[in-house]
Amino acid sequence: MKLRFIFNPRSGRPLKNASILPSLRSFIAARALDADIVCTEGPGHATEIARDAVAEGCQRVVAVGGDGTVNEVAQALVHTPAAMALVPCGSGNGLALHLRIPRRLADALELAAGGTGRVAEIDTGVANAFLFVNAMGMGLDADVGRRFNRLTRRGLPAYARTALAAFFGRRNERFLVTSGGQSETIDALLIAVANSDQYGNNARIAPHARVDDGVLDLVAVRPVGILGACVLGARLFLGSIDASRRVRRIGGARFVIERPSRGFIHTDGETHETGALVEVDVRPRSLRLAIPADCAALAHPGSRPASAFALQLP
């Protein structure tokens, strides 16, 4: 099997990840793999490298980095026969955590190289032509993403400080959400549309989401004060945010979201300026991915995807 490892040396904590590149080289040499390593040099480069890998006949492309690297590699691999594998070393690692990809480097490399696990097909999402694998978001969600991307030091504590600063500078918005032929107006602090259950760092914005059911989970958080925000923050990490009376959750394959004016959205943490109208669609089972053989977050071969749902929480 021909592989290409795409390593983002700027992912997560660069000093901590400095040993990854020599470890990759040693792993490839020790197993005599038909593989090479290409390091990214800036935004968008991982997508270019992955496209070249597909054109050159690589059967597996390994994203060595964080959620941004995963997103860029996935852009090149959707609807292709090549499978993606993950070696998580970013600050959030949302998809890797959702799918229980090993955090230990040696184990992640074994899975990536095909020594263990299986290949499954997962859904992806598109928001105004921007692909996402974990989640997209608007409102406070996008503001946190913009602020976090400016930081030179990452990690959960930095994310928490950034989220708190964004909350105190928040601006609630009125959204018109249309799905399945029905529309409703929602005053919200943020709207997230999730494919996997989390942003990263086990912050589970959509605890019941699956990446292979053909359905996206829209989660709208209504305006709250500081005490309410603390409770929701705890629920986020406890996996019970959708049990809050301040949360509206809707499942569907397509959402049209209208806001008063143009603004920012994020896709897997990367921010983009878009118009007032945001169209979000699922691409069912559009990406092939190496996962652990016993991964409970995905159906096993031959099982049927879950049906769509719509849940109103008071």
pTM score of the predicted model: 0.87
Q: Degrees (nearest 5) of the Cα angle 93, 96, 98?
A: 105
Contact indicator for 44, 69 with CB cutoff of 8 Å? no
> Which of 144, 143, 149, 178 lies closest to 160 in space, CA to CA?
144
Q: 159: which 2 tokens?
A: 């994310």
Residues of the chain above pLDDT 70, percent: 86
The phi and psi torsions of 11 (rounded to 5 degrees) equal -70, 150
Reported as a single tens digit per residue, the pLDDT across 15-65 is 567 789 999 999 999 999 999 999 999 999 999 999 999 999 999 999 999
Task: Return all residues near 4 (Cβ < 8 A) that are at least 6 apart.
Answer: 35, 36, 37, 38, 49, 50, 53, 56, 58, 60, 61, 62
Reported as a single tens digit per residue, the pLDDT across 68-113 is 999 999 999 999 999 999 999 988 899 999 999 999 999 999 999 9
Contact indicator for 137, 278 with CB cutoff of 8 Å? no
Mean pLDDT (the chain) is 89
Distance CA 129, CA 12 (A): 26
Distance CA 195, CA 267 (A): 11
Q: Tell me: pLDDT of 305 over 50.
A: no
Contact indicator for 86, 3 with CB cutoff of 8 Å? no
> Which of 113, 80, 82, 84 lies closest to 99 in space, CA to CA?
84
Q: How confident is the model at residue 300 (pLDDT cuts 50, 70, 90)?
A: very low
Beta-ladder partners of 251: 217
Domains of the chain, each with CATH number or no CATH: 2-116 (3.40.50.10330), 130-283 (2.60.200.40)
Contact indicator for 219, 243 with CB cutoff of 8 Å? no
Q: What is the pLDDT of residue 15?
A: 58
Reported as a single tens digit per residue, the pLDDT across 146-193 is 666 666 566 566 667 777 667 766 778 999 999 999 999 999 999 999
Residue 273 vs residue 161, higher pLDDT: 273
Q: What is the pLDDT of residue 170?
A: 74
Task: Return all residues near 285 (Cβ < 8 A) that are at least 6 apart.
Answer: 121, 122, 123, 212, 214
